[in-house]
Structure 1
């Protein structure tokens, strides 16, 4: 599953970074996904985590007191500036921002017990490649948590934005299993309502959890 890279992504998110946390939908979505992860994964402070496509940290900040070190990775410098400011303002000791595009940059040298990513996968050009990278970055027995859109007709972003139009759960589950993940599970955790010409439309957001086989 591939599509052309969206070259404007970083600049787009840089421009929106300072106002990102003002959106109550983004806030609520982060909290709902965080709660679903809590219920699906036995979190503890010995766990190292990677939040890939972390944005302003709306997913990881609610989880920070339940985890060990968290690498906050994003390709948007503007988003990471906001993260760094929040880390400093709150005196957070276990979060580290890093500018990172796993399809272009060298992968981190460390491995993780948990990888979380929210509303990022549909912006990644090569789904199979990023799943392989996630698998390699996890410790044996580690868990991958992906929150993203169910497959839609392209109206969520509009035709001018070149991204995946969400994901078919069965297809994504097969791809994860082919990569080596086990215990692949899906649940609906949120729904985004958007006004369209034909009326308000809901776009469901799923959480996929999967485990790297091993310990």
Structure 2
């Protein structure tokens, strides 16, 4: 089987209509949190196939797509090449294990990633460290949902608790609000998404 065919199948599997539509809603929510970013650098952590980051690429001087899955990074690379996007680059890396020493950015965007991470404090600390002074961490994730019981993911987050955690890590200020509710969007359950904006 041709490599391209494998990538095509993966794209079909990951970029479902629902995921694409949800990503568009998330992109709009993130955009509403941003201002004067044309000269700023951004990093999409846990980027998956790049649906959210690619929707924001026009408002940053550069965007680095980071994911621990080589297959996901290949997908993003392909999209970047097909779109002739010169301001984007990729990195296959798990920051909970290793972070490139010289990496510094103005914005980190993390969409529907934190719920998959066991040690939230550790990853938030790593992301805090790579942000420049006055940099922002933008987190999009699910509100706490008691009807979800899983040993693979967190069942969402309490916004107040997460604000407390990012401040504990060192962020100077943070605010959050729910921006979208949908049917069967979280482990087949109705759920809501929030956005958190923390400033270093």
Please state which band the TM-score falls in when normalised by the shorter chain.
0.7 to 0.9
Distance 1:80 1:32, change over 3 A: same
**Residues 185 and 191, structure 2, Cα contact 8 Å, conserved in 1:** no
Separation (CA, whole Å) in 2 of partners of 1:195 and 1:124: 19
> Pick from 37, 47, 59: which aligns with 2:30?
37
Query: Contact 1:20–1:56 at 8 Å: present in 2 too?
Result: no
Q: How many residue pairs get matched?
A: 192
Residue deviations 1:29-53, cap 9 Å, x none?
A: 2112211121112142211111000
CA shift in 2, pair 1:195/1:51, >3 Å = closer
Contact 1:29–1:190 under 8 Å retained in 2: no
Correspondence 1:58 to 2:67? no
Range with greater deviation from structure 2 (75-84 or 26-35): 26-35
Does residue 173 in structure 1 map to residue 163 in structure 2?
Answer: yes
The TM-score, its normalising length taken from structure 2, stands at: 0.88
CA contact (8 A) 2:15 2:49 kept: no
**What secondary structure does 2:77 align onto?**
helix
**Of residues 107, 116, 125 in structure 2, which corresponds to 1:123?**
116
Distance 1:96 1:195, change over 3 A: closer
Matched, 1:206 2:198: no
- Cα RMSD of the aligned pairs, angstroms, is 2.2
| CA distance 1:25–1:100, shift in 2 (3 Å) | same
SS in structure 1 of the partner of residue 175 of structure 2? strand
CA 141–37 in structure 1, closer or farther in 2 if over 3 Å, else same: same
Task: Quote the Cα distance in structure 2 between the aligned partners of 1:191 and 1:85.
Answer: 31
Structure 2 residues without counterparts, runs of 5 or longer: 1-6
Once residues 13 and 64 of structure 2 are traced to their aligned partners in structure 1, the CA distance between those partners, rounded to angstroms, is: 20
* Correspondence 1:159-170 to 2 at 5 A: 159=150, 161-170=151-160
Instruction: Quote how far apart the aligned CAs of 1:154 are.
Output: 5.8
